[in-house]
Amino acid sequence: MRKGPSTIPDPAPEQPTSATAISLVLTSCLLFALLDASAKYLVLGGMSAPFVVWVRFAVHLVLAFILLRGWSNKRLFAYQNLPAQILRGCCLFGSTIFNFLALKTLPLADAVTINFFAPMVITALAGPLLGEWAGWRRWLAIGVGLIGVLVVTRPGFGHVGIGHGYAFLSVLSYCCYAIMTRSMSRTETSESLIFYSALTPVVLFSPSIPLAASMPPDLLSWVLLLGLGVFGGLGHWLVIQAYKRAPVSALAPYPYSQIVYAVALGYLVFGDIPDRYTVVGAAIIIASGLYIVRREQTLRKASYSEPNAEAQDLAKKL
């Protein structure tokens, strides 16, 4: 008996990545690097890290309200699961404050390099938390990425300090935030995810601000403090605009430019020069992360041509 034509669509031909999208991602990475450099400058100058983080989110909240037209956009305030929105906001706050505390003792390049281990941790946690299990190839890439982190931190050689501990806590908090974002994006609006992630820290931690507040000592510190929310809020907005113009896999290599920005700012502002271990470790982590992205892209393309769900499930386990 002759079979009818396949109902599975052919995969769309790969298109060149939009130059505008690439520019948006590169600009956002520069803003994130400026955010880290400014935070490091402020906490090294004696300002309280919790207060710096609170101001960062307060300015971010105002900016999000303006950019997303909160006066007429009902999607900004809509929610299906308010407790989850609050918990997700706390995770982002934790990631930020642990990162700022890490920057107090770590060079910018080291902190940013450790943060880029997050995609591998997310891949590992997505199995037990979301049921999205990684195959052996991706687990191997995760292991290689961990080796890169060990090269940077060099445990057992007297190099690991409290800053590295804060950096790893920042990564873990961010991974929880990212996994919740992935899960909640099915039911929550993108506008509300942006808005409540800033609103939650501002509201919950406002009562403690009178105890944690430390005023900037000079005009430059005031500019940098208020600039934190602009760097963070505008950076996230540019990322969203970039992914409207190009797929995630096509833009995956460009966020690693933040390491280059961090090295440059670390040298220009703080006189930090990354040692060979940081350079080698960063290269290993980048290679591992790009492999995971490439593997996801391969599986996504294969899903168009697999004859049935069983074959697709088998491919994901490889």
**Residue 7: per-residue pLDDT:** 44
Q: Give me the residue label for tokens 């090269």.
A: 151
The values of phi and psi at residue 160, to 5°, are -75, 125
CA atoms within 13 A on the CB side of 223: 4
For 85-125, give the DSSP string: HHHHHHHHHHHHHHHHHHHTTS-HHHHHHHHTTHHHHHHHH
CA dist 113 and 148 (Å) reads: 9
Long-range contact pairs involving 251-254 (C-beta distance under 8 Å, separation at least 24)? 251/17, 251/21, 251/22, 251/25, 252/289, 252/290, 252/293, 253/290, 254/22, 254/25, 254/26, 254/29
CA atoms within 13 A on the CB side of 119: 23
Report CA Rg, the chain: 21
**Is the separation of the CB atoms in 123 and 134 below 8 Å?**
yes
**Residue 280: per-residue pLDDT:** 87
CA dist 98 and 45 (Å) reads: 17
**Residue 99: per-residue pLDDT:** 92
**Residue 159: per-residue pLDDT:** 64
Cβ neighbourhood burial of 227 (10 Å; 0-12, 13-18, 19+)? middle
User: What are the helix (H) ranges across 131-256?
Assistant: 136-153, 162-184, 190-205, 209-212, 219-245, 248-251
Render the burial of 69-106: b for 16+ CB within 10 Å, e for the rest. Answer: ebeeeeebeebeeeebbbebbbbbbbbbbbbbbbbbbb
**Residue 3: per-residue pLDDT:** 42
Tens-of-pLDDT digits for all 318 residues of the chain?
Answer: 444 444 444 444 445 567 788 888 889 889 999 999 999 999 998 898 889 999 999 998 998 898 888 888 888 898 899 999 999 999 999 999 999 999 988 888 888 888 888 777 877 777 777 776 767 777 787 788 778 877 877 765 556 678 889 999 999 998 888 888 878 878 888 888 889 989 999 998 888 888 888 888 889 999 999 999 899 888 878 887 887 777 666 666 778 888 888 889 998 998 888 888 888 888 888 887 777 777 666 766 665 554 444 334 433 333
**Residue 112: per-residue pLDDT:** 86
